[in-house]
Chain A
């Protein structure tokens, strides 16, 4: 594995998006992972529609009662991948633009640009997460966002952070170490793309240290593979 890795340098990550006042983080996490997988499969980076997932995806987790995707009221990335698999694919962002509100589904199958061929969960192991990131593209991850409300920059490495996850984000890379003066050592970190606009964090990104499953970031990691459509 390389010491440092960043999918942004390789053109697999679209610009930072803004979910607005809508609990649709899960849809941004899912489309971000599929955008990366689609780039790996086709060489084209397409910005995909979160609004399609917000409006049309009502898939439920069979293992957990009431855990259904529900637009601005929340959802799960794995359910979103299941929806994309069942529906056939996702439209472009510009064909089904984001409104930040729950709306009526107007999915047009003829305008599908990216599809899922498979998705799977990655084991709770930092090296495996890194290997899957490098091998398969950006990963959909869940995190406890308690420190994110006040985060401005640097590597977040709180002494105490709950492992209960409440936010969906996209893991796009990792770094070998950024010097933390207070701890007198370099700390390896994950690079996370958020969906709160560029005027949050480090131009929309969050860095969190890569140790001991901090804030539950290693616990729910999903990788997706894009289908290559043949004419």
Chain B
């Protein structure tokens, strides 16, 4: 940590602005190493490793964007962080449907919601 003192005056010298060294915490390589350890990820070749690292960096940016668009949730590195959105959809989603309910579906009766 460092203390920014260039603007400090007698009245505000008790106000200390803490500046955290973020070189390490924002370093994508560090995050990727931690990600591989946490989720037991290994890659067969160096090319694959480099490709996954590129995808991971892109997902870090995506998580940051999601955090801005969805501020009440926490977004970040997950076990899917080395997958492109397309790979993620193909491997982990699987709902075959357009936004339409079958015409012959039984409709649930309307239930009372008071009391």
The answer to whether A and B assemble together is yes
- Chain B interface SS verdict (over half): loop
A128 interfacial by beta-carbon distance below 8 Å: yes
Q: Are A70 and B78 in contact (CB-based, < 8 A)?
A: no
A 168-195 contacts with B by CB, 8 A: 168, 178, 180, 182-183, 187
Residues of A within 8 A of B (CB): 1, 19, 21-26, 61-64, 66-70, 72-76, 78, 118-123, 127-128, 130-132, 135-136, 142, 145-147, 149-160, 163-168, 178, 180, 182-183, 187, 196-197, 199-200, 207, 209, 216, 219-220, 223
Nearest A-chain residue to B38, judged by Cβ = A199
Binding site for A on B (CB under 8 A): 39, 59, 62-63, 66, 69-76, 78-81, 83, 85, 88-108, 110-113
Pairs A–B under 8 Å by Cβ, sample size 11: A26-B96, A61-B97, A62-B104, A120-B105, A123-B110, A142-B95, A155-B73, A156-B70, A156-B72, A183-B71, A196-B79
Q: Which residues on the B side are within 8 Å of A128 (C-beta)?
A: 108, 110-111, 113
Contact A120 B75 (CB under 8 A): no
Closest-by-CB residue of B relative to A154 is B73
Top 8 A-B pairs, shortest CB-CB distance = A23-B94, A180-B72, A120-B106, A74-B94, A131-B111, A182-B71, A154-B73, A158-B70
Q: Report yes or no: A67 in contact with B74, Cβ–Cβ below 8 A.
A: no
Q: Would you call A149 and B104 a contact (CB within 8 A)?
A: no
Contacts A25-B93, A145-B93 known; A153 to B110 CB distance under 8 Å?
A: no
The residue in chain B whose Cβ has the minimal distance to the Cβ of A208 is B73
Is there an interface contact between B75 and A152, defined as CB atoms closer than 8 Å?
yes
